[in-house]
Amino acid sequence: MAEDKYNLKNPAVKRILQEVKEMQSNPSDDFMSLPLEENIFDWQFAIRGPSETEFEGGIYHGRIQLPAEYPFKPPSFMLLTPNGRFETQTKICLSISNHHPEHWQPSWSVRTALVALIAFMPTNPNGALGSVEYKKEERRSLAIKSRAAAPRYGTAERQKLIDEIHECMLSKVPPVPQPSPSQDSKEHPSNREGDVQVSYQNDGATPAGEAAAEGSPNPAVGDRIVEEVQEAPLNGNPGPEVARTLNAAPSGGSSQLLQRPEMKVQKPADDRLFTWAAVGLTIAIMVLLFKKFMKSSGHGAVFMDGS
């Protein structure tokens, strides 16, 4: 990289060159990113799909554009590989992007942003700008296609960098795993409950922890980064997925609920039976005691005649 054509006293240039050296000295298996030779404010990157998701095994290329005020202003991101989560060649809306400069922190870096982007992949888009929502089967199919060839984009110099990054990521990222039969049954269209299950609760924590494990001087991406979710429309009514869950409840459950009151009705009858038995036994004991009392007091004969 020709550093001599840049003003090394410029804070943005100085910070970017520092991050380039850090990327090269401390590479990650989850992503790779380098600036163009002709413009260090323009980066190419590739990330691997997060494990245990429909993106696993995929290689997703993208572009990062750093502003002249970097790191005091956030970069912009766009994906170049079809993925089923973000639109391609469109600047996406994330809390780490230029769409939300109020959330950006100068201590964050390109590495931090890529870790966060991986964490965003399996989350619910909630209609955010630049997001799409495909079925899991379609996303898995796109993950397989993403390994076949790098996307075609930009100048020859840029394409050369994209191809180099792709070859490097292919050597690191295992192939797309085949879904197990149980996963196929859950995701089958006849079983609508599979669409309701969301297994993305802890996706944001794993990549953030990885950044700390790699010894990055940048802080881990915390709860503020997962603020793309707040862009969901405020709607108090249950969505169609919740309605499907309620409708999918087995009919046998209602019959069990109807049988429970019958069991509860029998309990009061048993209690009354025991109560009357206790009362009868008490009366019998009192009669015997009364007879003994009358006999001992001299009225036994009269009592016996009367009985």
What distance lies between CA 82 and its chain's CA centroid?
A: 21
How far apart, in whole angstroms, are the C-alpha atoms of residue 12 and residue 189? 51
Would you list the DSSP string of 168-183?
HHHTTSPPPPPPPHHH
Token pair recorded at residue 48 = 């691997």
How far apart, in whole angstroms, are the C-alpha atoms of residue 71 and residue 253? 58
- For the annotated catalytic residues, the residue numbers are 93
Q: Cβ(58)–Cβ(151) under 8 Å?
A: no
Amino acid at site 103: H
How far apart, in whole angstroms, are the C-alpha atoms of residue 185 and residue 73? 46
Q: Cβ atoms within 10 A of the Cβ of 100, count?
A: 18
How far apart, in whole angstroms, are the C-alpha atoms of residue 170 and residue 148? 10
Q: Cβ(77)–Cβ(47) under 8 Å?
A: no
Q: Cβ atoms within 10 A of the Cβ of 286, count?
A: 10
Helices vs strands, H then E, count in the chain: 10, 4
Q: What is the CA radius of gyration of the chain?
A: 36
How far apart, in whole angstroms, are the C-alpha atoms of residue 146 and residue 58? 6
Quick check: bond before 27 cis, omega within 30?
no
How far apart, in whole angstroms, are the C-alpha atoms of residue 82 and residue 275? 76
